[in-house]
Amino acid sequence: MADEKMINQSRAENFLELEVYTQSPVETGKMPCPSIVRVLDLLNNQFSPDDAGDKSFLELMGFGAVAGQDTPKLYFRKSAIDLIAFTDTNTGRGIGAAPGPKVYPFVSKMPRRVTIELHSYTVVGSIHCASDQSVLTMLNERKAFLPVTDAVITNGSGFRGERPFVAINKHQIISLRGNH
């Protein structure tokens, strides 16, 4: 019975409000995400409600929505994304913030303040490493997106935005520096 409840919860979708930063203008909208899935697992293809396709694209809904019309959708190739910023503080906390037993192993992590240079953006924020994990090990993991909390995003045009949680495409990172 508990397994059936978990399966039904994983099929229920939440819609996360986000901003997608690429070499083109920033797009805003909502991304469907099953309710018990961590957003990073979805971005890094570590969870899939179905096994169809290679999951190279991200679907963004509600961008440019007009009342009375079908909800427009925009598709981004994940490899072309610089970073994704989430506006809801709790998005960065993932399902681990929920009370009760965890459905995945919990690992205690320490924040490390860093500055990350991308082609078009600079992000200052905190990455979170396990006590036995180096920054280099984290950067070299096969996961495509690096989670950063308490982020400040800037660019050369004077843009400055503070976001509680961003996911940075590691393939777009030029350098990462900080006290680590």
- Do 171 and 105 meet the contact criterion of CB atoms below 8 Å apart? no
93, 76, 80, 162: which is closest to 123 by C-alpha? 162
- Do 10 and 32 meet the contact criterion of CB atoms below 8 Å apart? no
In angstroms, the CA 70 to CA 86 distance is 24
* CATH number for the domain formed by residue range(s) 2-178: 2.30.30.100
Three-state SS sequence of 83-103: EEEECCHHHHHHHHHCCCCCC
Token pair for residue 5? 């409840």
- Do 73 and 64 meet the contact criterion of CB atoms below 8 Å apart? no
13, 11, 49: which is closest to 30 by C-alpha? 13
> What pLDDT tens digit does each residue of the chain (180 aa) get?
444 444 444 445 678 889 999 998 899 888 887 777 778 888 888 765 555 557 899 888 876 555 566 778 889 999 999 999 998 776 655 555 555 665 666 778 889 999 999 999 999 999 999 888 899 999 999 999 999 999 999 998 999 999 999 999 999 999 999 865
Q: 10 Å Cβ neighbour count for 110? A: 12
